Structure 1
């Protein structure tokens, strides 16, 4: 246990500010540190993440989670929003965003019960009143009134092919809202294939933001999908179909 307590995240306020035009206050820094410690402890019970060194954790979990805000209008950052994090795993990007934006109400969705049990335990320990973990498949929950076309913002971090991520996320988003796809490498062919899928789902690609991680200089792309019209009732397709037969 002493090893867990002595692992300290690096001080990166200048890096936060330079890259995202945002930086955590003292309380948020303490909460990020607590998240790190709880992940290290949780890793002893289940495989939550292989990214465990302080600098890697800061960059690949904390910074990467918040990197999705770079293409959002400032209104998104200051308003009270309904947000869903699809395929949250151990709580990324949802938990760091819950800490960074207490005005957002965030639903953290994953189909793995053990992961959501950990996430809800973390939410309780950190007293994050603006977050809740839910066990469900995106294809099923996205068809249910009360969740379908309810969210201002949907976030999905490299769960599957981009077109599959679009089918998972856009049904949750209300008309006028946005889905953010966190991706690694990206090319023109990816854009062309995604356009067709997004159009079928009632949206369009509004912005593609390419950049690199601040420490290791890894390739990152954030793809912003604007919801223009209601998603046809046939989407999302039945559980497993989007992944097996991408649009």
Structure 2
């Protein structure tokens, strides 16, 4: 998917990019490739791959969840900024907070946001488990999201504690989504959420399977969650 195909595909989904936004994606791609030579941000560095598998794939969450109706978004383990920064470029009103455990990636994100003139963005160097216990961030967001971070039973413990009651956790998954959802049912309920909507669709061009889950936060998360760093991964809530 080249730049023109990307712009056309988004237009067909109701997202009309301005020249400034098109230029922001172009700069994003260039900076991603440049910084990737110094540090490992992504295995995908060809233009068509980045526009399809990073930019379009990230934005596809907005085809099913209405980001125009929310303000604060937290992206857990975003790495090089996916999915939240492509969504932020398309919906500039969003206030985006990204938490990542690697300080080098935070350095890249800070530089990227300066170059792209992104406002209302915050990048925090922390483990997701510790971040979720920080009163400044806990249960403060309209939406939390994540892509390619952990299986859903673990991811729920990272993300749901950050969502305010009445907010949403939006999980972007590949073909294994339905299987992960089965395993995560206890965790989702324990953490104070329930499934609201699920969508199955295909990423264009390569026709690979994607699933998107939207969870409602219906009650406060018990204070003991998230547990200490490393524990959710070793012993997911069963």
- Do both proteins adopt the same fold according to a TM-score greater than 0.5, normalized to the shorter chain? yes
Aligned: 1:146 with 2:136:
yes
Aligned-residue CA RMSD in angstroms? 1.5
Equivalents in 1 of 2:206, 2:46: separation in Å?
Answer: 13
Question: How much does 1:78 deviate?
Answer: 4.5
TM-score normalised to structure 1 length: 0.91
Q: Which residue of 2 aligns with 1:176?
A: 166
* Alignment match, 1:30: 23
Aligned-pair CA distance for 1:134: 0.9
* Shift in Å, 1:89: 0.5
Unpaired stretches in structure 1, ≥5 consecutive residues: 1-7
Task: Go from structure 1 to structure 2 and tell me whether the alpha carbon gap of 1:207 and 1:91 turns closer, same or farther (over 3 Å shift).
Answer: same
Which string of whole-angstrom CA distances, capped at 9 and with x for unpartnered residues, describes residues 73-97 of structure 1?
4xx3144x11111001011112212
C-alpha separation in 2, matches of 1:188 and 1:214: 20
For structure 2, the residue ranges without an aligned partner over 5 or more in a row are none
Instruction: Give the C-alpha shift of residue 240 in structure 1.
Output: 0.5
SS in 1 for 2:33: helix
Distance in 2 (alpha carbons) for counterparts of 1:117 and 1:191: 33
Give the aligned partner of residue 44 of structure 1.
37
Conserved 8 A contact 2:171-2:212: yes
**For residues 123-153 of structure 1, what are the alpha-carbon distances to aligned partners after superposition, in whole Å with 9 as ceiling and x for unaligned?**
1111111212110011001011120000001
Deviations 1:183-216 (A, max 9, x none): 1113654333222110000000111111110111
- Among residues 115, 124, 134, which one is paired with 2:114 in the alignment? 124
Specify the alignment match of 2:54 in structure 1: 61
**1:44-68 alpha-carbon deviations (Å, 9 max, x no partner):** 2111112111111111110111111
How many residues are treated as equivalent by the alignment? 236
1:9 is aligned to: 3
* Residues 79 and 100 in structure 2, CA contact (< 8 A), matched pair in contact too: yes
**CA distance in 1: counterparts of 2:200 and 2:112, whole angstroms:** 32
Shift of 1:244: 0.6
- Residue pair 1:176, 1:228 contacting (<8 A) in 2 also: yes
TM-score by length of 2: 0.94
